[in-house]
Amino acid sequence: MNMQNLSFVRQDMVAASPRPSGRGGTLEWTRKNLFNSWLSTLLTVGSVLTVAWLIVAVAPWLGNSVWRANSLVECRQVLGDAPGACWGVIRDRWPQLLFGFYPAHLYWRPVLAFALLFAALAPVLLRALPRRALWFSIVYPGIAYFLIWGGSLWFPISVYFGFAVGAGLFMLAARAGKGPSVGIAVIGASVWWVYAAQPISSLADGMAPIALDSIASRDVGGFLLSIIIGVTGIAMSLPLGILLALGRRSNLPSSIC
């Protein structure tokens, strides 16, 4: 036997074989994922019937809709007593959907606050930006409050000063080793916000008034209110979640106080 003619590796490619009939493709995927058992078949048939019923029920309502109307009243007049979708309400009420009852001549304020939101998020989300840009992210909540609700600029400044008071008390208590430094900082900042923030801001406003027209909270609504609630909830949940995670991992619960 000539050992040099033996090979354990195929030297040529095998021609591709045709796919077996009934294997692969849409029908095979449907059989495996939608009709692979009696329960799956029942759910698939029920879902198809539900979607078909919704289409049959909604199609006449959409088919009789009014797409071109200058106001909600005109849309209802065109419809009469017949059921149908009245899309004219969006054309008539889109400012209310976006801003609630915010004064129309002041729309630039929430729009500017919304635009600045992206500038405040950029240093948090993008590592390429310099870390000093985080200062704008820190002061943005005060700027947004001042733009949306108006009033004196000194009020959000005095609120920020409360954080400075808390940080100063924390460092003093930690350096002196006196009791729960975090608790002292929280109490000091809370006392400032409750008793000193408003009087200090009123005094500063009397000396150097910087203010915008005040807007009541009941006038803030629509998409604007949704953005405020969403961003505030996310921003507040992050530090609270970090504190709870640290407390859960700590072997000495009293050490965080």
* Residue 256 pLDDT grade (very low, low, confident, very high; cuts 50, 70, 90): very low
- Answer whether 128's CB lies under 8 Å from 246's CB: no
Tens digits of residue pLDDT in 137-180: 999 999 999 999 999 999 999 999 999 998 888 888 888 776 67
Domain boundaries, the chain: 27-92, 94-256
φ/ψ of 37, rounded to 5, equals -155, 170
Which residue, 210, 240, 215, is CA-closest to 113?
215
3-class DSSP state for residue 177?
coil
Q: Specify the pLDDT at position 255.
A: 47
Between 222 and 9, residue with greater pLDDT: 222
Of all residues in the chain, what percent carry a pLDDT higher than 90?
39
Tens digits of residue pLDDT in 206-225: 899 999 999 999 999 999 99
